[in-house]
Amino acid sequence: MSEYQLQEIPVGPYKHLVSERAISGETMILNMGPQHPSTHGVLRLVLELDGEVIVNCIPEIGYLHTGVEKNMEAKTYLKAEVMTDRLDYMNNMGNNLAYVMAVEKLVGLDVPERAQSLRVILTELQRIASHLVWLGTTALDLAAMSVFLYCFREREIILDIFELVSGQRMMVTYFRPGGVWRDVPVEFESAVRNFIKIFPKRIDEYEALLTKNPLWLDRTVGIGKLDAATALQHGVTGPTLRASGVNWDLRKARPYAGYDQYDFNVPIETKGDTYARYLVRVQELRESLKIVEQALNKLPIGPVRSENRKFVPPPRSELGTSMEALIHHFKLWTEGFPAPKASIYSAVESPRGELGVYLEGDGGPKPYRVHWRTPSFDNLSVLPKIVKGHLVADLVAILASIDIVLGDIDR
């Protein structure tokens, strides 16, 4: 007999979460993850199974906990921004935006028009990139390999645009309090126009592969139904909520960064199953592209950073000639700028839902408390409710359809 046997995990710590049949040994407790390819990161699921049917599901998170909130308390407002890229690594621009908007709200800083438009273009491109990764990996989980390759091909174009503007493909830190890091290079417009030209056809290709594919329909229609009331009780936001028929999008409800100037729809589906969540995200790809095109068409000319030197470093060209510029530069990068002793909550619509930042200052140059209200955390908490009674193979589809990012959950 081999010494490596399949082992059931002890029921002890989960006694209050499993059914009585697990304690008598009638059902099986099985471990899934934390290194399972279909859990989209280091997520561990403890499953109670009756044959192949899920009786209970207990998510165990924290394997990617990096203490970002604690670390940010020890850094100045400017330096802490670098950590925000690492939270939700599929939505780096969006995290930057959430953070800089919180800082701007706390200290009362203005942002020039051009910077606002650039922020909209780049966060919408980021939303497309994030949804592409979601679409690719979800299709991969459901054994449609080719979609994954096509999605990553298009995502590459977006990452190249990010590299063009910030020098980095993923950890961009491009938005800064009071504007953006520096103006975009001249190649930016043609690069984005090129993407706008080719991408609609590519969405049609994905849809041709999936939307009416009988295998895809078999795996997604009616799987993992989530009704609106349960979703709201669990704080679910973003496309997952909109697929359950709730019209709530912070870009429409509380427009920020000039979203009220653009004409776009918020896709809604009412079924609340895995297929509805797929449809919402695919339609969002088209809507985001519409916003990018409109913003690019009326991209204003002008400064990209606020002129308020107490919060925004002066341009490099002034350092050699202006004493004040040198002093401001020195003060900002050594001591940082002070923020009032007050707290604010500011939220943006990330590809996964409401990404909120609770930011509290204490009058000094470092944040007193930063809390990240991350959408994946709340979205995952609804999983145990919607997987009950489904097969293990469907769990993979449901988990993929709520689009979690573990860096976003564990922070």
Applying CB under 8 A, which residues contact another protein? 13, 16-17, 61-62, 65, 67, 69-71, 73-74, 105-106, 108, 230, 232-235, 237, 246, 248, 253-254, 342-345, 347, 354, 356, 358, 360, 368-369, 371, 373, 377-378, 381-382, 410-411
Q: What is the C-alpha separation between 224 and 394, in angstroms, rounded? A: 8
For another protein, the closer CB: 115 or 344: 344
**Residue 79 vs residues 76, 179, 334: alpha-carbon distances, Å:** 5, 15, 10
Q: Is 363 exposed, middle or buried (0-12, 13-18, 19+ CB in 10 A)?
A: exposed
For another protein, the closer CB: 114 or 366: 366
For another protein, the closer CB: 99 or 195: 99
For another protein, the closer CB: 181 or 368: 368
For another protein, the closer CB: 105 or 182: 105
For another protein, the closer CB: 151 or 344: 344
Least Å distance, CB 253 to another protein, is 6
For another protein, the closer CB: 117 or 244: 244
Q: Are 410 and 39 in contact (CB under 8 A)?
A: no
For another protein, the closer CB: 74 or 327: 74
Least Å distance, CB 77 to another protein, is 16
Query: Does residue 350 sit in helix, strand or coil?
Result: strand
Length of the chain: 411
Q: Are 217 and 355 in contact (CB under 8 A)?
A: no
Least Å distance, CB 369 to another protein, is 5
DSSP state of 8: P
Q: What is the C-alpha separation between 138 and 245, in angstroms, rounded? A: 22
C-alpha torsion sign, points 69, 75, 80, 83: negative
Least Å distance, CB 198 to another protein, is 37
Q: Are 78 and 177 in contact (CB under 8 A)?
A: yes
Task: Measure the N-to-C terminal CA separation of the chain; round to a whole number of Å.
Answer: 43
DSSP state of 316: G
Least Å distance, CB 286 to another protein, is 25
Q: Are 163 and 169 in contact (CB under 8 A)?
A: yes
Least Å distance, CB 50 to another protein, is 22
Least Å distance, CB 89 to another protein, is 18
**Residue 275 vs residues 90, 213, 222, 379: alpha-carbon distances, Å:** 22, 12, 7, 17
Q: For the CA atoms of the chain, what is the radius of gyration?
A: 23
Least Å distance, CB 187 to another protein, is 38
**Residue 261 vs residues 101, 116, 118, 305, 314: alpha-carbon distances, Å:** 18, 11, 14, 20, 30
